[in-house]
Amino acid sequence: MLQNPHLPAFGPLSGAKVAHATSSLAGPFPAQLMADMGADVIWLENVKGPDYLRWAGSRVIDQERRNQREIALDIPSEKGREVLFRLVKDIDVLIESSKGGQWAGWGITDEVLWEHNPALVIVHVSGFGQTGLPSQVRRGSYDPIAQAYSGTMILNGFPDRKPTALIPYVSDYMTGLFAAYAALASLNKAKETGKGDSVDIAQYEVMLRCACHATDYMTDGKVYPREGMHSANVGSVGTYECADGKDLYLCAGSQSCLKRLIPLIGLEYGSEMFPEGMPLVFLGTEAGDVYEAALSKFFSEHTAEEAERILLEKDIPVSRINDYEDCKNDEHMNLRGDFETWTNFAGEEIRGLAPQPKLKNFPVKSWRPAPDVGMDNDEVLSELGYSEQEIAALYEQRVIGKLDSIPHRK
């Protein structure tokens, strides 16, 4: 029986047991969120091809595999499946990320898994889903592929240039969020009924579901252009250059905002051009031209710091455009504890992001750095009832394996 001897009791998911056979980011992220919330999480990494991000020159592994144990396992092999089946008897959620149908092709169907644990929640994360056109289901996918296929990428960038992908990894992170909430909703039902469920997460569908513009097109045929740094439709939504050459992003688009902003920039609120209760100022109109000219004049007469202060004093949504150096030194972010420092198993000091969101009664926390390849093989397998001799045989047969800490490539 799994009994993590290192895991402190914390968070709303204390007592929940999760395993994930994933790589990259979209599949691992829901498991990371659960680990941040106190679940006992085990990463089943591919012993034949460990996660490529370990060599990518990024700190993604350090950031997105904390609070987890790891076993490096050859799941498709006969002995690997035996380990998996023994594991699933004692967990609540299993997450896998691969091309659609890959696990079924290995003979590891949902029904086979439920034979070992009828209450198991199974989450399949893929680019194109488990059903549909076979040629599509079998396609590989990464974050920008989902953006391209879903109609997301075509909306992003500048109107006079080619579409561009949103970064960093928006599709991966959103897919992970959908997977996490679907898994926990299914777990809630499984606790009530004793019957698990299978969640089919297609990465492109997550992006499509989060595209309200798609409904505008399918209902009214409305096409939104790529906007670049300013709304193509309404005023006071976009980037404005200030007197010191720095940019602010303004997003003032409601009755209450315009009531405060219009007189601030020297225009008459309640006039025929800017009537009382006006919710938006549309571009391409006389009012829009006057409004944007007044905004440009206002920003040209103030530094970014001055303009931000003046607008915030009027409770108008605006922000300087920060880089990560700005974030690192931001007083508000630091007071809220948005960053933390830890040491990984290679002995490197990591400065990164604290778990989110913040909970008052059962707070999230970090308690362990990201594991090395196979570092918890012996411990986890012994908890599953394997003897030292049986574990040694699995090493010899290359069903499991280990790698020392991989040097970070900057």
Please say whether the beta carbons of 323 and 339 come within 8 A: no
Cα–chain center distance at 385: 35
Closest CA to 63 of 356, 261, 363: 356
Q: Which helix (H) or strand (E) holds 122?
A: strand 121-126
Active-site entry in 40, 92, 172, 197: 172
Is residue 172 annotated as part of the catalytic site, yes or no? Answer: yes
- Alpha-carbon span 175 to 165, nearest angstrom: 15
Preceding amide of 144 cis, omega within 30: no
Is the Cα torsion angle 29, 30, 34, 37 positive or negative in sign?
positive
Q: Which helix (H) or strand (E) holds 56?
A: none
Q: How many CB atoms sit inside 10 A of residue 287's CB?
A: 20
Please say whether the beta carbons of 372 and 398 come within 8 A: no
For residue 185, CA distances in Å to 18, 25, 121, 196, 365 come to 14, 21, 10, 11, 22
Q: Which residues are catalytically annotated?
A: 172
